[in-house]
């Protein structure tokens, strides 16, 4: 069902209020790795509004490698995130980690994110097949493209056709970067599927100084959009500060992404 052989026309998702994801538009989503506080959200939302970015990312349920790391503000954080975003015309993308969260989060999100550690959580994918909200599935940490497409097939065959795929880097033998952003994935996925393909250069390389270069490369490789981490003070971020852009870097990247997209 997710194959181009089955549907030739590219899938375009409409989030409402003129926000679209898919061919014909460059989708930009930015925000902190974790939702931390009202003040933090206030500053990032102002940055997004100033730069006409309509989608904000931010986790309230965080999959952390260590149980002692900050694990997110949960539903209290999401409700505040939702209220503040609505007031500013911003759409929300945030990670859902387990089946029980699908229902509680449903009314407060615009796009459910399935994280790289849950790409093959088939119960979660089944549950998301039953909702009427878009789902962005990230590629598994060591997942093949075929596995990513199979995960999308779970959701699609469950009845939810509002899907987005995200290349976020894979684990390789290379240790110079956090992950290896697999730009090959972009043209290959665009050839194989009608679904929108988004690149996450923050997790893809894991190094702030190189996030912009990989984001621009992602667009030139044919991505329908970019999702990256941004924060007023990345060095103070509760998670993933090392791969998070400050507002100056983010504003410059947004300008350059629009220029590069126009050249395609
Ligand atoms: C995130 O988006 O902050 C995240 C945890 O991403 P991933 O699942 O790609 O590691
Ligand atoms: Mn992160």
Render pLDDT for 162-180 as a digit per residue (tens, 0 to 9): 999 999 999 999 999 999 9
Nearest to 36 by CA among 250, 229, 238, 242: 238
Residue 16 inside a domain? The answer is no
Closest ligand 1 atom, residue 118 Cα: 8
Ligand 1 center to 5 CA (angstroms)? 30
> What is the distance between the alpha carbons of residues 241 and 101, in angstroms, rounded to a whole number?
26
196 CB near ligand 1 (under 6 Å): no
Q: Domain tally for the chain?
A: 1
In this structure, which ligand is nearest to the CA of 97? 1
12 inside domain: no
pLDDT of residue 106: 98
For ligand 1, what atom is nearest to the CA of residue 115?
8
- Decide whether any atom of ligand 1 lies within 6 Å of the 140 Cβ: no
pLDDT at position 31 is 98
Query: Residue 187: which CATH number?
Result: 3.20.20.70
Q: Which domain holds residue 173?
A: 26-63+74-263
Is 21 among the domain residues?
Answer: no
231 lines ligand 1 (CB under 6 A): no
pLDDT class for 235, splitting at 50, 70, 90?
A: very high
CB 228 within 8 A of CB 211: yes
Is 122 within a domain?
Answer: yes
Q: Is residue 11 part of a domain?
A: no
What's the gap in Å between 240 CA and the centre of ligand 2? 5
Q: How far is the CA of 17 from the centre of ligand 1 (A)?
A: 26
Q: Which of 30, 34, 71, 95 to mutate to test the pocket of ligand 1 (most atoms within 8 A of CB)?
A: 95
Q: What is the rounded distance in angstroms from the CA atom of residue 54 to the CA atom of residue 89?
A: 7
ipTM surpasses cut 0.90: yes
Strand runs labelled E in 32-133: 55-57, 91-95, 111-114
In 3D space, the residue among 142, 135, 141, 145 whose CA is nearest the CA of residue 186 turns out to be 145
pLDDT at 36: 98
pLDDT at 194: 98
Question: Quick one: which of 109, 104, 161 has its CA closest to 130?
Answer: 161
CA separation for the pair 228, 169 (Å, rounded): 13
pLDDT of residue 152: 98
- Ligand 1 atom 9 nearest Cα: 116
What is the three-class DSSP state of 73?
Answer: coil
Q: What is the mean pLDDT of residues 81-106?
A: 98
Does residue 155 belong to any structural domain of this protein?
A: yes
What is the pLDDT confidence band of residue 143, given thresholds at 50, 70 and 90? very high
Does residue 9 lie in a domain region? no
Which residue's C-alpha comes closest to atom 4 of ligand 1? 115
pLDDT at position 59: 98
Biggest CA–CA distance in the chain, Å, is: 47
pTM of the predicted protein model:
0.98
């Amino acid at each position: 069902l997710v194959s181009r052989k089955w549907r030739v026309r590219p899938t375009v998702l409409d989030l409402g209020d003129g926000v679209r994801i898919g061919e014909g538009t460059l989708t930009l989503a930015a925000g902190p790795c974790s939702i931390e506080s009202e003040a933090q959200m206030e500053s990032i939302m102002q940055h997004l509004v100033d730069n006409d970015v309509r989608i904000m990312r931010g986790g309230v349920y965080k999959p952390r490698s260590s149980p002692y790391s900050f694990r997110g503000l949960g539903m209290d954080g999401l409700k505040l995130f939702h209220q503040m975003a609505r007031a500013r015309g911003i759409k929300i993308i945030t990670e859902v980690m387990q089946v029980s969260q699908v229902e509680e989060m449903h009314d407060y999100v615009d796009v459910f994110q399935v994280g790289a550690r849950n790409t093959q959580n088939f119960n979660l994918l089944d549950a998301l097949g039953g909702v009427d909200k878009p789902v962005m599935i990230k590629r598994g940490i060591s997942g093949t493209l075929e596995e990513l497409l199979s995960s999308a097939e779970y959701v699609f065959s469950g009845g939810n056709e509002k899907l987005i795929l995200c290349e976020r880097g894979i684990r390789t033998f290379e240790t110079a970067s956090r992950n290896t952003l697999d730009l090959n994935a972009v043209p290959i996925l665009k050839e194989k599927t009608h679904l929108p393909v988004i690149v996450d250069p923050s997790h893809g390389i894991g190094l702030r100084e190189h996030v912009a270069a990989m984001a621009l490369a992602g667009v030139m490789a044919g991505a329908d959009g970019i999702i990256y981490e941004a924060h007023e003070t990345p060095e103070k971020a509760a998670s993933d500060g090392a791969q998070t852009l400050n507002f100056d870097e983010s504003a410059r990247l947004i300008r350059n992404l629009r220029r590069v997209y126009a050249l395609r």
